[in-house]
Amino acid sequence: MQFDSFSAFLDMGGYGFYVWLAFFVTLVSLVALVIENKWRARKIREQVLKEHRRIQRVTQAKEKKARETKVRE
CB 20 within 8 A of CB 10: yes
Mean pLDDT (the chain) is 93
- Asked if residue 21 belongs to a domain, the reply is yes
Distance CA 38, CA 28 (A): 15
User: Which residue range forms the structural domain that includes residue 36?
Assistant: 6-72
Mean pLDDT value across residues 17-22: 95
pLDDT, residue 61, reads: 94
Distance CA 1, CA 19 (A): 15
Checking if the pLDDT of 23 tops 90, the result is yes
Checking if the pLDDT of 69 tops 90, the result is no
| Domains held by the chain: number | 1
- Asked if residue 1 belongs to a domain, the reply is no
Checking if the pLDDT of 48 tops 90, the result is yes
End-to-end CA distance of the chain: 90
Percent of the chain with pLDDT over 90: 74
pTM: 0.65
User: Per residue in 33-43, is it b (16+ CB within 10 Å) or e — as a string?
Assistant: eeeeeeeeeee
